[in-house]
């Protein structure tokens, strides 16, 4: 009978990367979920990793584990649900690999997710705020390239980290190819101005690099990671906030640039379906959060509705006066 340790190893090393083709980021997230589970089992249940068996993964243990995540570690509901999703995915795998554990897995698959509160209002910057941040980054060509690409592409920070020099098209129309969630590639159009900035950056900083090399690197000549890009962005944000405190908040994380681009596209009248494809969302339902948050989009919808519901009166001024007199006589 295959037990937990053997099954978990096969799940992380063979099933996720080879059979499902999951990205390294996704596999790392699944791995971290089980690292936390093993930590909890050791500290709270006094069962070390080498002693855990499948029967230990009962619903009561998983419920106590999720309570620990929220109350002891302070994890958000969405993070806790991501850990539950990893355990459910493992249960589905075990069902087919080790049918002798099928009843345990069936119960694991019934583990309820944590209720998530209504999402907070989307954080985004005004067009003017983005312009101030870009202007603050202009002193360093690499900072300028990073900030400009983050906003203009609307890409996730992990997608920007993964861009290689060969993913850029420097001739017009400028584009960048990114690898999104689920290892799905998409090509994003870039403005002429941002395309030129990236061209200047590559010429100045990466002229000798191969096309397969990372676009952005650190001082050790390794691919720049999420923390590095967030640091570069925050430098420009701090400078912009100092000069324009009402337009630029003191702190901005990279995802706010993505939100800002989506909101600006929506406010410019771009169809939600095109914004979905631009951002790489799987469903337009995800993209609808921007429509709910956009005041300009709401105003256009209301004005369009008023035009249909309250049409222009067919009566002229004299006709309206005659109609009023007729109604008075009638009454």
Type and span of the H or E element at 170: none
Task: From the candidates 156, 174, 261, 264, give the one annotated as an active-site residue.
Answer: 156
SS3 177: strand
The answer to whether residue 311 scores a pLDDT higher than 80 is no
Task: From the candidates 258, 259, 261, 264, give the one annotated as an active-site residue.
Answer: 258
Q: Are residues 284 and 193 in the same domain?
A: yes
**Main-chain phi, psi angles of 145, to 5 degrees:** -65, -40
Task: From the candidates 20, 226, 235, 255, give the one annotated as an active-site residue.
Answer: 255
Q: Are residues 133 and 280 in the same domain?
A: yes
Structural domain contains residue 223: yes
Structural domain contains residue 320: no
Q: Are residues 97 and 132 in the same domain?
A: no
| pTM exceeding the 0.75 threshold for the entire prediction | no
Structural domain contains residue 326: no
Tell me which residue range forms the domain holding 236: 127-303
Q: Are residues 210 and 291 in the same domain?
A: yes
Q: Are residues 9 and 90 in the same domain?
A: yes
* 269 burial level (CB within 10 Å; 0-12, 13-18, 19+): exposed
Active site residue 206: no
Strands 185-189 and 175-179: antiparallel
The answer to whether residue 218 scores a pLDDT higher than 70 is yes
Q: Are residues 200 and 262 in the same domain?
A: yes
pLDDT tens for 239-258 read: 999 999 999 999 999 999 99
Structural domain contains residue 100: yes
**Main-chain phi, psi angles of 216, to 5 degrees:** -115, 125
Active site residue 281: yes
Q: What is residue 23's predicted lDDT score, i.e. its pLDDT?
A: 81
- Fill in the DSSP letter of residue 49: G
SS3 209: coil
Active site residue 255: yes
Type and span of the H or E element at 188: strand 185-189
Q: Are residues 213 and 255 in the same domain?
A: yes
Task: From the candidates 61, 264, 276, 281, give the one annotated as an active-site residue.
Answer: 281
Structural domain contains residue 315: no
Active site residue 156: yes
Question: Residue 212's closest CA among 174, 172, 173, 168?
Answer: 168
The answer to whether residue 5 scores a pLDDT higher than 50 is yes
Active site residue 317: no
What total of structural domains would you count in the chain? 2
Q: Are residues 146 and 187 in the same domain?
A: yes
Q: What is residue 112's predicted lDDT score, i.e. its pLDDT?
A: 85
Q: What is residue 331's predicted lDDT score, i.e. its pLDDT?
A: 47
| Encoded tokens for 61 | 């243990």
Q: Are residues 165 and 60 in the same domain?
A: no
Task: From the candidates 142, 181, 235, 300, give the one annotated as an active-site residue.
Answer: 181
The answer to whether residue 1 scores a pLDDT higher than 80 is no
Active site residue 181: yes
Type and span of the H or E element at 242: helix 226-243
Q: Are residues 144 and 54 in the same domain?
A: no
Could you tell me the CATH number of the domain that includes residue 295? 1.10.443.10
Q: Are residues 29 and 68 in the same domain?
A: yes
């Amino acid at each position: 009978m295959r037990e937990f340790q053997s099954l978990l190893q096969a799940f992380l090393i063979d099933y996720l990367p080879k059979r499902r083709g999951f990205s390294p980021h996704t596999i790392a997230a699944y791995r971290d979920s089980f690292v936390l589970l093993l930590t909890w089992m050791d500290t709270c249940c006094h069962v070390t990793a080498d002693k855990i068996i499948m029967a230990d993964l009962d619903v009561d243990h998983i419920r106590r584990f999720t309570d620990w995540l929220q109350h002891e570690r302070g994890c958000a509901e969405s993070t806790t649900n991501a850990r539950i999703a990893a355990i459910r995915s493992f249960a589905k795998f075990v069902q087919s690999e080790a049918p002798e554990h099928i009843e345990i897995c069936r119960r694991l698959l019934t583990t309820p997710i944590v209720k998530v509160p209504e999402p907070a209002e989307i954080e985004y910057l005004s067009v003017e705020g983005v312009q101030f941040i870009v202007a603050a980054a202009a002193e360093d060509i690499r900072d300028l390239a990073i900030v400009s690409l983050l906003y203009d592409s609307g890409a996730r920070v992990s997608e920007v980290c993964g861009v290689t020099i060969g993913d850029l098209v420097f001739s017009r129309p400028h584009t960048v190819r990114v690898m999104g969630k689920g290892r799905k590639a998409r090509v994003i159009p870039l403005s002429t101005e941002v395309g030129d900035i990236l061209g200047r950056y590559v010429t100045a900083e990466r002229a000798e690099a191969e096309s397969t090399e990372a676009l952005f690197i650190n001082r050790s000549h390794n691919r720049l990671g999420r923390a590095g890009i967030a640091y570069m962005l925050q430098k420009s944000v701090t400078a912009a906030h100092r000069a324009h405190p009402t337009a630029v908040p003191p702190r901005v994380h990279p995802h706010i640039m993505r939100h800002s681009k989506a909101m600006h596209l929506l406010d410019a009248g771009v169809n939600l379906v095109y914004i979905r494809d631009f951002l790489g969302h799987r469903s337009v339902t995800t993209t609808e959060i921007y429509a709910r948050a956009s005041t300009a989009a709401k105003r256009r919808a209301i004005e369009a509705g008023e035009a249909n519901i309250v049409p222009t009166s067919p009566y002229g001024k004299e006709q309206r006066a005659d109609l009023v007199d007729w109604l008075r006589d009638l009454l």
